[in-house]
Structure 1
Amino acid sequence: MSYIGFLSDLEHEPNEPVQYYLPLDRERVPLNPYIGHEIELRYLGEKACCTCGRKAKKLFNNGYCYPCFTKLAECDLCIVKPHQCHYDQGTCRDTEFAESNCMTAHYVYLALSSGIKVGLTRKNRGKARWIDQGAIQAIPIAEVPTRKAAGEMEYFISQHIPDKTDWRKMLAGKVEECDLLEIREQIRSLLPEEYREYLLDDQEIYQFTYPILETLEKIKSLSFDKQEVIKGRLMGIKGQYLILDHAVLNIKKHTGYKIEVVLRPLG
């Protein structure tokens, strides 16, 4: 089977295991049936902005042309540093975007991917966010009314536990075991009074398994910026990564690249 189009982030459904799809323009290629099969991805030399579709020699922030990168609210610094939100100062790039994406309920959560980490996400994107990070477990700490308030709580917690994922350990399956409920209780005891009204008592730990035949002992990253053709046996998928038999490919990093994908059965 062969497909051609501009790449978007891997899409997924939280089944057991997670079901993955590769978006190429209007095509949505199911990948799970091809785990264990040969895959070839060929970069066709074109890039286009994931928002406006403008052709560009270079893309920024995982898929944006330079004008969109400098103008769109979703590319502002406060997206990666939400505690620095400046909506209240009247300097937001797009108030409509802020009202629908930032002035809404957010979870502050704990997730287990390479190790324990704290993060935040819009309430309606919890599972999608955790899968994108390759988490095998996750649990919300609090439900906070705005992204800025969630970012301030996340920043406070990040002084005690990490807020980053080691993607190599995550892909190698080298996960440090821990008790999320116990750690959540420890975090709750540290939080200032101003955050306590947002705390959740839900005991459910969300669990995720990924379609992986084998993990790699040594994680090597591939890029279309260094080679036109990437091919090998598809051994698994986790987070936004395709795991081949010799290296891994971050699909999110290549959003907006035009590629041809060929999927072949073994033999």
Structure 2
Amino acid sequence: MTYQGVLTKMQTEFSKPINYYLVFKNDFINFNQLLNKTLTINFVGYECLNCHLDKPIYRQGFCKSCFFDVPQAADWIMKPELSKAHLDIEDRDLAYEKQAQLQPHIVYLANSSNVKVGVTRKGQVPTRWIDQGAHEAIEIVEVPNRYLAGITEVALKDHVGDKTNWRTMLKNEIKDENLIEWRDKLKPFIPEEAMQFFIEDNEETTIEFPVLQYPKKPKSLNFKKTANYTGVLKGIKGQYLIFEDDTVCNIRSNEGIVVSINIL
């Protein structure tokens, strides 16, 4: 059976283990059902997620011209502390920015390769943690806008990491941490503006991924260098497909690329 479409972030369903779906325009693939099956992935072309033209993808699924124009790729996406909608100041599209920024946001701790701090919209819990390959996570602050979440993250980054080591995450070389203790230890460093939103009493969320075999030396599949790849699917973690030969495919980083997937 063959499927073809433009890659976008896999959709997930919170269960034990997590269910993963790759959604195309007229079809979808449940990857959990394909474990231990042989897949052939072929590069077909590009399709910018904004203009939908066959133009090389620059970043985040957008061609170069769209990346520097659309609000979905503005600096405040990656750096929440740059959010300005609460001041009624436009960056690229004030209506979009108000909708995205002026809603409840969570500052959280997640353990994927190590304990890290992060920010996400409240409605993206636990999806954000799943996408990062975290096996445990906890909310520490719930604030009414993205700016407050951003300045809280910046303050806490001086005391805890804010990056995931993708190789360590995929190899599963991680240890359990007491995130409640981490939460309480970081409380004194929360900015005064956000302190009233500190979450005093909650529990960790644990996440189980559908992985039969973790890679020992993960090597990333690059469609610009490898237009055709065949391998046996052994797991899905974060936004990565994991294959028997230690090849891994980051679906999120390949958004905007058109592929055909043949299931043998």
TM-score (norm 1): 0.94
Secondary structure of 1:183's partner? Answer: helix
Residue 230 of structure 1 is matched in structure 2 by: 229
Question: C-alpha distance in 2, partners of 1:91/1:33?
Answer: 45
Residue 63 of structure 1 is matched in structure 2 by: 61
Higher mean C-alpha displacement, 34-43 vs 47-56 = 47-56
Residue 105 of structure 2 is matched in structure 1 by: 106
Shift in Å, 1:91: 3.4
For 1:34-183, list aligned pairs within 5 A.
Answer: 34-44=34-44, 46-56=45-55, 58-87=56-85, 88=87, 90-183=89-182
Secondary structure of 1:249's partner? Answer: strand
Q: Give CA-to-partner distance per residue, 1:33-80, whole Å, 9 cap, x none.
A: 111111110111x20111231221x21222112232111111111111
Q: Is the 8 A contact 1:110 1:140 kept in 2?
A: yes
Higher mean C-alpha displacement, 214-223 vs 19-28 = 19-28
Q: Is the 8 A contact 1:103 1:146 kept in 2?
A: yes
Question: C-alpha distance in 1, partners of 2:201/2:173?
Answer: 27
Question: C-alpha distance in 1, partners of 2:233/2:16?
Answer: 19
Shift in Å, 1:89: 6.7
Q: Is the 8 A contact 2:151 2:191 kept in 1?
A: no
Matched letter for residue 253 of structure 2: K
Question: C-alpha distance in 1, partners of 2:106/2:63?
Answer: 30
Residue 239 of structure 1 is matched in structure 2 by: 238
Count of residue correspondences: 262
Matched letter for residue 261 of structure 1: I
Matched letter for residue 143 of structure 1: E
Matched letter for residue 201 of structure 1: E
Residue 17 of structure 2 is matched in structure 1 by: 17
Shift in Å, 1:103: 1.0
Q: CA RMSD in A?
A: 1.3
TM-score (norm 2): 0.95
Question: C-alpha distance in 1, partners of 2:25/2:242?
Answer: 22
Q: What runs of 5+ residues in structure 2 fail to find an aligned partner?
A: none
Q: Is the 8 A contact 2:148 2:193 kept in 1?
A: no
Change (3 A) 1:130 1:102: same
Change (3 A) 1:256 1:41: same
Question: C-alpha distance in 1, partners of 2:132/2:186?
Answer: 21
Q: Give CA-to-partner distance per residue, 1:121-149, whole Å, 9 cap, x none.
A: 00011111000000111110010111011
Secondary structure of 1:196's partner? Answer: helix
Secondary structure of 1:197's partner? Answer: helix
Q: Is the 8 A contact 2:106 2:120 kept in 1?
A: yes
Matched letter for residue 31 of structure 2: L
Question: C-alpha distance in 2, partners of 1:206/1:156?
Answer: 24
Question: C-alpha distance in 1, partners of 2:225/2:26?
Answer: 27
Secondary structure of 2:234's partner? Answer: strand
Identity of aligned residues (%): 34
